[in-house]
Structure 1
Amino acid sequence: MSVTLTKESHTNPDKFRIKFNDSQRVLAADASEKLKLTIDEKLPPIHTSSKVSIIGAGFGGIGTAINTIEKLKVDDVVIFERHDNFGGTWYANTYPGCASDIPAIWYSYSFALNSNWSKVQPPQYEMEEYLLKITDKYKLKEKAKFKTSVDKCVWDEKLGKWRIYAHEIESGQRIEHLTDIICSCQGGLVYPAQLQAEGLENFKGNYMHSALWDHSVNFKNKNVLVVGNGCSANQIVPALLNDPKYEVNSLTQVFRSKHYIMPPVPKVLLVLYRLLSFSTIGLMLVRWLIIIVAEMRVPLYKGNGLLSRFVRWINTSVSVHYMKSNSPKEVHDLIVPDYKIGCKRLIFDYKYVPALNDPRITLTNHGIKEVVEDGVMLNDGTHVKVDIIVACTGYNIPKSYYNLPIIGKDGVNIGKDIWEKDGPSAYRTLLVKNAPNFFMIAGPNSATGHSSVVMAIENGIDYYLKVAKPILEGKKKSVEVKPQVYDHWFKTIQAELRKSVFGTPFGGCVSWYSDEKVNSTAYAWSQLHYWYITHFPNYNDLTYTSIEDKKIK
């Protein structure tokens, strides 16, 4: 189907944004510990059940619920979500300039293409309106348990089911939920990585992380410090300088690393989209055009052969030329990288590079030595007086893996016993050993440097639909990946990723894609490859358990 938005979000964006206090309650630095304290142990638990339980109500959770209901004809679905509405990151992230970082015609569901995006990369509130339009269409609100924190998932050996221990955040009411299948759709860019700077607690002005934006703070004519220069900063900086709601007096941007910034998405794409938006076939044609162009960039991410070097050279030349020709000469040494392109995620510009010509902005790569009452002291001894500090310091990726205890077969704690030892991983990005009937949608290694995470989500959902179908039809009791297959996948993908540019010595940079041990973020091959391995499961890699508890291959 195709959908058409009313664009109410443009006239009333607050309706499509999380309230600041609600986001703080779930995502602040100490939120996890505080959420545990909201559990009321005096109240007896409420016992509930469902065939399928989904954790998270963003793109992954919404897509999984719809496809479970529509394709598997299973209506017994429950969605657990800590926020008070659908949307995930598109509900929680509301900073000025927040928008899709790739064309929305691709950053949307293939089964629900939108016919009237306002821009190629529409703003946050429009993305949220799109998601709410779809959840209304499929009546998902009746499936959702909002303001509910999932605290632990435990595999019940005798029943061959999962027990989900959760609680309602406001009342403290405990919930014990029995379910055949869990689909974890929590996402990776969730928990803000707060600014780690000495003396921050002494700052007398306003401090906020980009992912926890306080819209009550007045920015007009204020002196602002922005820390970081990734995708969020690329959107925030020009908004603070040019949006009439903000129009700051001065903006100092402090950062350590550099990013390859590509020219904005060509305007001709929007023209083509509007010409073909009258039909679903036309929308699919535009979508596939974007996919094909993006896949042509894959060689730059891996290897040093002739094709890889050629594609890498073309993209590097385009990026460097754009940055140098649209910014003052005196900042070129600060913004143009010297590592291999793709080592950090590519940024399609949001008017950031031209904004560097604004006389109100100052760039510096001298780190923060100390935060003082009226600003910061930089490592070179410079005192920068500011009223507001905005941290565009990214997300705590590991916390997204370890925030939820998952106790699988034989009491194995997936996080502590498997992931802390080797590193977070999942077979074909979806299945973890010792965790039957547990699917990770957009799980470890499902992200890419060139593609759409929504496309990856849909690929993962398709795999889940095929593999879980015998369980939901009552033909089998459980399914899990064979331990030796999981281990082989882990070794294979990590070896392949070491040949890539994703935050490796070969790439020449430090990136959130990976840490010292493993890369649990990026996919090692093309999206065409990912589509293939998710649409054609290798059932020999899996163990199904029959209703009579007899294991079969």
Structure 2
Amino acid sequence: MTSLNNVKKRKTTYYPVLIIGAGATGIAAGSQLRQKLGLKEFKIVDRQSGIGEFREYLNEISEKYQLASHIQLNTDVKELRWIEADAQWEVTLQHLVPGTGDLSTRDREDRATASGRESVYLHEEVVRAKAVISCVGILVEPNPWPSSIQGRNTFKGDVFHSARWRDDIDLNGKDVVVLGTGCSAAQIVPSLLKEPYKVKSLTQIGRSAPWVMPRLSEPFGRENYAIYAPTVYKWLPFLGFINRVLIYLLVEVIWSTVFQMKHKKWRAAIETQQLAMMKEIVPEKYHDIMTPDYPYGCKRRVFDTEWLPSMQNSKFMLTNRPIQAVDGKELILGADGKATSGQQRINADIIILANGFEATRWLHPLSVYGREGAALQEVWKQRGGPAAYMGMAVDGFPNFFIAVGPNTANGHHSLILTSENTVSYILKMIKPILSGKVDRVEVKKQAVTAWTEDVKKDLEKTVFVGCRSWYMDEQGYNSTMYP
């Protein structure tokens, strides 16, 4: 292993295009570079030990477009620095001990501190690229266990985040606590209450209730859909297309009505319907806890058909009492939001954090330095928050493009659709660079400013302003949603 302080000088490798991230968007960028531009010289780097979430499908795409030789895993991008004289990006890569890139940045640094940097980092490499496409995801860096909890570092059990699942921890016969009531928690809880798990008890702790919807893509029941849909769509693919079109049209109707602040009657109708459904399924003792105190759609909705019925399980308990302190393997819960008096103690062998991600820290922990050494994070800080023209380009940072950047997500549609369209647009910007017609492409500051102001103004018309959510930072700046 080579110390970072004693890295040997190597010949600088050059790539016409460097893609950061081998998730769905990175694979889309790579496949379109080959398919649309016929480019054979590019590199996709990813800090993790494997490619993104939908692995079987993405592996098929990678094989179809011959991307395997372009993908470099266990490689973290530490820094991007624009070299004005050469009109290129200088990229500092950190080669990681295989598997350590699957950890969060915080956990990697903790390991490096405890066991030495050589336990995480092998060596650094500096490469050059004419253009860089950031395909860094939004939900990447998990939120930590809340720092307000007294004695949290003295907990005697195991703690892990849902996005960093620990298969090596035996849950059988254990008192398990799930922290959170969002989409991840709604998937985890019913699964843990079924085979092959045999938990002793499962306590779910949440701050606020989500709006829960049945799944849209299971028209004939979940079991039947899972059994027959793959075969039907294989032989009659147009039915799959029709199903997707119908879902598309349905959610567009919901967006243009329920998600707009002015349509209170539409929103009230769907809220009444969903509350009635919840109360039919969930035990009465949880009705108050499971009643949202904010408008429908303001926070991310939960689409699920198993979570609510699982609350009838005798091993399950739901509470909105906050964790105040830790005492060995006991959690001390305080009063809930309705001034319930006294404290409550519950046993916890294992805590699973389903408390979300650092979604508003765009590109974190990547450092990007543009013209005259300007730091992108500092530019965003001075401007009040992350913003980019069409979510993909910032003035002062030539030939640097962000796929799925600030204000590109929405509350009703697939992000895959957004990322594919964004990548297609970025390729139009890259094409003249690769052909040598231009040396650099850079958006104008006034274009970024005008775009950002339009987004802010239009967000005020949507339901997203009706509550505090993970879409916003601590100052209430919404850099996530596209209105």
- Equivalent position of 2:480 in the other structure: 521
- Equivalent position of 1:551 in the other structure: none
Matched, 1:147 2:102: no
Cα distance in 2 for residues equivalent to 1:82 and 1:266? 33
Query: Could you tell me which of 142, 147, 153 is aligned with 1:201?
Result: 153
Question: After the TM superposition, which residues 534-545 of structure 1 pair with which residues of structure 2 at under 5 Å, given as runs?
Answer: none
Deviation at 1:292, TM superposition (A): 1.3
Conserved 8 A contact 2:362-2:405: no
Matched, 1:355 2:347: no
Q: CA 1:420–1:208 in 2, change beyond 3 Å: closer, same or farther?
A: farther
Cα distance in 1 for residues equivalent to 2:132 and 2:378? 19
Q: CA 1:301–1:137 in 2, change beyond 3 Å: closer, same or farther?
A: same
Deviation at 1:274, TM superposition (A): 4.8
- Equivalent position of 2:198 in the other structure: 247
- Equivalent position of 1:82 in the other structure: 47
Deviation at 1:486, TM superposition (A): 0.5
Post-superposition CA distance 1:306-353 (Å, at most 9, x none): xx2343234323321221111111111000113110010111114000
TM-score w.r.t. the length of structure 2 is: 0.87
Question: After the TM superposition, which residues 307-456 of structure 1 pair with which residues of structure 2 at under 5 Å, given as runs?
Answer: 308-379=263-334, 380-419=342-381, 421-456=383-418
- Equivalent position of 2:136 in the other structure: 186
Deviation at 1:500, TM superposition (A): 1.8
TM-score w.r.t. the length of structure 1 is: 0.77
Q: CA 1:467–1:245 in 2, change beyond 3 Å: closer, same or farther?
A: same
Runs of 4+ in 1 over 4 A off after TM superposition: 271-274, 279-282
Post-superposition CA distance 1:150-188 (Å, at most 9, x none): 111111111111111112113633222111110000011
Q: CA 1:68–1:280 in 2, change beyond 3 Å: closer, same or farther?
A: farther
Matched, 1:222 2:149: no
Q: CA 1:322–1:45 in 2, change beyond 3 Å: closer, same or farther?
A: farther
Conserved 8 A contact 1:273-1:283: no
Residue identity opposite 1:263 in structure 2: P
Deviation at 1:399, TM superposition (A): 3.5
SS in 2 for 1:323: helix
Post-superposition CA distance 1:183-213 (Å, at most 9, x none): 0000110001011122121111111111111
Matched, 1:55 2:20: yes
Cα distance in 2 for residues equivalent to 1:520 and 1:301? 21
Q: Which ranges of structure 2 fall in alignment gaps of 5 or more residues?
A: 98-120, 335-341
Residue identity opposite 1:389 in structure 2: I
Deviation at 1:278, TM superposition (A): 2.2
Post-superposition CA distance 1:442-482 (Å, at most 9, x none): 11111111110111101101111222221122111111111
Deviation at 1:354, TM superposition (A): 0.4
Residue identity opposite 1:463 in structure 2: Y
Residue identity opposite 1:49 in structure 2: Y
Cα distance in 2 for residues equivalent to 1:517 and 1:46? 46
Matched, 1:70 2:22: no
Deviation at 1:72, TM superposition (A): 1.1
Post-superposition CA distance 1:207-252 (Å, at most 9, x none): 111111111111112111111100110001101111x121211111
Deviation at 1:517, TM superposition (A): 4.1
Deviation at 1:285, TM superposition (A): 2.9
Matched, 1:168 2:95: yes
Residue identity opposite 2:177 in structure 1: L
SS in 2 for 1:85: coil
Q: CA 1:284–1:475 in 2, change beyond 3 Å: closer, same or farther?
A: farther
Cα distance in 1 for residues equivalent to 2:290 and 2:411? 20
- Equivalent position of 1:512 in the other structure: 470
Residue identity opposite 1:520 in structure 2: S
Cα distance in 1 for residues equivalent to 2:180 and 2:257? 25
- Equivalent position of 1:210 in the other structure: 162
Cα distance in 1 for residues equivalent to 2:444 and 2:296? 37
SS in 2 for 1:445: coil
Bigger mean CA offset, 171-180 vs 402-411:
171-180
Cα distance in 2 for residues equivalent to 1:260 and 1:333? 13
Residue identity opposite 2:16 in structure 1: K
Deviation at 1:412, TM superposition (A): 1.4
Deviation at 1:420, TM superposition (A): 5.2
Residue identity opposite 1:262 in structure 2: M
SS in 2 for 1:264: coil
Question: After the TM superposition, which residues 273-292 of structure 1 pair with which residues of structure 2 at under 5 Å, given as runs?
Answer: 274-278=231-235, 280-292=237-249
Query: Could you tell me which of 28, 34, 39 is aligned with 2:4?
Result: 39
Matched, 1:457 2:419: yes
Deviation at 1:273, TM superposition (A): 6.7
Conserved 8 A contact 1:181-1:438: yes
Query: Could you tell me which of 48, 63, 84 is aligned with 1:157?
Result: 84
Cα distance in 2 for residues equivalent to 1:369 and 1:272? 47
Q: CA 1:152–1:311 in 2, change beyond 3 Å: closer, same or farther?
A: same
Q: CA 1:349–1:277 in 2, change beyond 3 Å: closer, same or farther?
A: same
Q: Which ranges of structure 1 fall in alignment gaps of 5 or more residues?
A: 1-36, 91-126, 525-553
Conserved 8 A contact 1:299-1:312: no
Question: After the TM superposition, which residues 466-485 of structure 1 pair with which residues of structure 2 at under 5 Å, given as runs?
Answer: 466-485=428-447
Cα distance in 2 for residues equivalent to 1:175 and 1:368? 44
Post-superposition CA distance 1:8-29 (Å, at most 9, x none): xxxxxxxxxxxxxxxxxxxxxx
Cα distance in 1 for residues equivalent to 2:265 and 2:4? 57
SS in 2 for 1:480: coil
Conserved 8 A contact 2:75-2:96: yes
Q: CA 1:275–1:411 in 2, change beyond 3 Å: closer, same or farther?
A: same
Deviation at 1:267, TM superposition (A): 2.8
- Equivalent position of 2:209 in the other structure: 258
Conserved 8 A contact 2:360-2:470: no
Q: Report how many residues are paired.
A: 443
Query: How many percent of aligned residue pairs carry the same amino acid?
Result: 33
Cα RMSD over matched residues?
1.9
Cα distance in 1 for residues equivalent to 2:134 and 2:349? 40
Q: CA 1:38–1:492 in 2, change beyond 3 Å: closer, same or farther?
A: farther
Residue identity opposite 2:173 in structure 1: N
SS in 2 for 1:163: strand
Conserved 8 A contact 1:301-1:500: no
Post-superposition CA distance 1:346-373 (Å, at most 9, x none): 1111400001111111111110110121
Query: Could you tell me which of 260, 263, 268 is aligned with 2:219?
Result: 268
